[in-house]
Structure 1
């Protein structure tokens, strides 16, 4: 009898002492390179991975941020010897591919032009035609190569800037980390770029809004022009309606045309891109903003696996929409 009682006690301890992990949706928020991030994931055991995510983002910042003096890219720009890891080399190769496919509309050698116009870490310069012409001499993705683990420049004054794919790349890397933690339902949003997989806490496909382009840089406007539902997709949006300044009554936007050296001036107000990875979506969203509406529509039709949603101004100044046929299936009614 005594043995039976002890047996039941031990069995009870085994059953009640070994609780199964409970999946839980975890919400992480923060700031990286001045941009807010919002990350949601269904953690299989209810663990919070925010500390690891934050460390990853800071490490990425020390590779790609031109505002960090000791970052990999800053050392490259100063022509210092630096060991290039696989993260940087992959991003460089992907940047070159986007540049080639976009006919140079996307170009990571725009650093000096970006800085000159006041959208980089350096003080804004007086951009005369002569100054712009001199900076164009050190611009062009064909003038920089990756050879045997080293960045080779035609001119030592060339400077790289990967900010145009930064948020998308960071999203991809965080998504990889979350997947390594066996999370199958998550959303990663950094600076407006998104990677989404599975479903949200309510069991629904993730719904993302596309903002109405309005000329204000306070981030107060949140008017939504469209809602889309994405699952196992990435989304990036680029526009000139927030990052700009006005000087002598003229607006100067942050998107610089690598061929002319000037901030773009055309009717395309916003470019949203859906793709399988966020780095590519981010890069092509920037390229489209350089190309303008007609050239962007033409290029988008040559890119398999990409869907686009463009907002542009017509001849009367009213906003119009162009979307690829495949994009329509993502719209939430």
Structure 2
């Protein structure tokens, strides 16, 4: 009788264990870059590719400045403003928060300046100080207001919004939230280098994510890792000036534009990697840090709850150095 009861108990316990499935991978192109998704399905033959694609398309039609009929393009083409969709509203409100917390270093109206310097969605012009002064008149998120009816207005017709510094991170969050809504708890979502992870990887441990060493390589062929992180249930975004730049008359022009001066930044900070619960938030702050520089970035990130930063900079001898917030240290794997 005892053996019979033991067999029944073992069978019951075994039947209570959920069946696990092999991790699946999905790749594609969106926002002018590539995405990679790894997840553990909760059902056999569970392919949710179509659902993910639909979610990414929603983001694209809300925030792409390369689509003339996207929500953000309609706002840019308008004279006074438009009623915006929920996605653009969420991104705009997050952008305003980061704008205020960074004293304007993150600014979604900086697009015309980015275009003028040759890094945006329009062709490069010959930049003059007069042109920059003129463009600065239309820069500043304080010139854009959202009312209770979701109408986003602007002070001048020339004001434009550009979500490129936050859209990839938001796209990552949208996909991650979709996966969670399908009951998926173990996943990694990456779009153009911005990442959000949850649960564990296929080896049963936290996800391993590398931080690149800053190397001037526009083709992104060379890649060395500065550090490897152990992450779960967070978003990670990195911004740097070592990939997107050009050289003219012997001078290097980086793609990070200071919204206050109108000119590409010139300081020792080479890259900023930010960790936050939402990848969109990490994305926005990473961009802001590249504007603010090392010391100001450390001050701002350390003052914010549940946000950590990792910074690679060049010292006075031209050597690369690393500095990070206190909470970031526990995420770095000892090599």
Same fold (TM over 0.5): yes
Q: Residue deviations 1:116-146, cap 9 Å, x none? A: 1111121101110000000000001111111
Please give the per-residue CA displacement for 1:20-48, whole angstroms capped at 9, x wherever unaligned: 97533110011112211110111100311
1:144 aligns with 2:118: no
For each residue in 1:182-210, what CA deviation from the matched residue of structure 2 results, as whole angstroms up to 9, or x when unmatched? 00100001111110000011111100000
What RMSD in Å do the two structures reach over aligned CA positions? 1.3
1:39 aligns with 2:28: no
CA–CA distance in 1 between the matches of 2:85 and 2:153?
Answer: 16
Mapped to 1, the partners of 2:288 and 2:107 lie a distance apart of: 8
For structure 1, list consecutive stretches of 5 or more residues without a partner in the other structure: 1-19
- Asked whether the 8 Å contact 2:76–2:159 carries over to 1, the reply is yes
1:66 equivalent in alignment to 2:65: yes
- Aligned twin of 1:234: 235
Contact 2:255–2:264 (CA under 8 A) maintained in structure 1: yes
Q: Which residue of 2 aligns with 1:218?
A: 219
Q: Is the 8 A contact 2:75 2:82 kept in 1?
A: yes
- In the other structure, the counterpart of 2:55 is 56
Q: Determine the C-alpha separation between the residues in 1 that align with 2:137 and 2:84.
A: 26
1:244 CA displacement: 1.1
Alignment partner, residue 99 of structure 1: 99
CA contact (8 A) 2:82 2:153 kept: no
User: Is the Cα contact below 8 Å between 2:71 and 2:85 reproduced in 1?
Assistant: no
Would you say 1:132 and 2:132 are equivalent positions?
yes
2: CA distance, partners of 1:194 / 1:269? 20
Counterparts of 1:207 and 1:128, CA distance in 2: 45
Length-normalised TM-score, structure 1: 0.92
Q: Secondary structure of 1:236's partner? A: strand
Counterpart residue number, 2:285: 284
4+ residue stretches of structure 1 with deviation over 2 A?
Answer: 20-24, 80-83
**For residues 22 and 318 of structure 1, do their structure 2 counterparts lie closer, same or farther at Cα, with a shift above 3 Å needed?**
closer
Matching of residue 168 in structure 1 with residue 169 in structure 2:
yes
Q: CA deviation at 1:221?
A: 1.6
Counterparts of 1:1-333 in structure 2 under 5 Å? 23-46=21-44, 47-79=46-78, 82-147=82-147, 148-333=149-334
Q: How many residue pairs are counted as aligned between the two chains?
A: 314
- Structure with the greater alpha carbon radius of gyration: 1
Question: Distance between the aligned counterparts of 2:203 and 2:121, measured in 1?
Answer: 42
Label 1:83 to 1:153 Cα distance change in 2 as closer, same or farther (>3 A).
Answer: closer
Instruction: Report if the CA contact (8 A) 2:78-2:157 is conserved.
Output: yes
TM-score, length-normalised on structure 2?
Answer: 0.91
Structure 1 residues 199 and 22, CA gap change in structure 2 (3 angstroms): closer
Unaligned runs of 5+ in 2: 1-17
Deviations 1:272-321 (A, max 9, x none): 01111111100000000000111111111211111111000001110011
What are the Cα deviations for residues 227-260 of structure 1, in whole angstroms up to 9, with x where unaligned? Answer: 0000111111000111111112111111110000
- 1:78 CA drift (Å): 0.2
Q: Distance in 2 between matches of 1:196 and 1:152?
A: 36
3-state DSSP class of the match of 1:274? Answer: strand
Q: Distance in 2 between matches of 1:247 and 1:56?
A: 40
Q: Deviations over 1:49-69 (max 9, x none)?
A: 112111211221111111111
SS at match of 1:24: coil
Judge which range, 43-52 or 170-179, deviates more.
43-52
Superimposed CA distance per residue, residues 97-130 of structure 1 (whole angstroms, 9 cap, x where no aligned partner): 0000000000001011111111112110111000
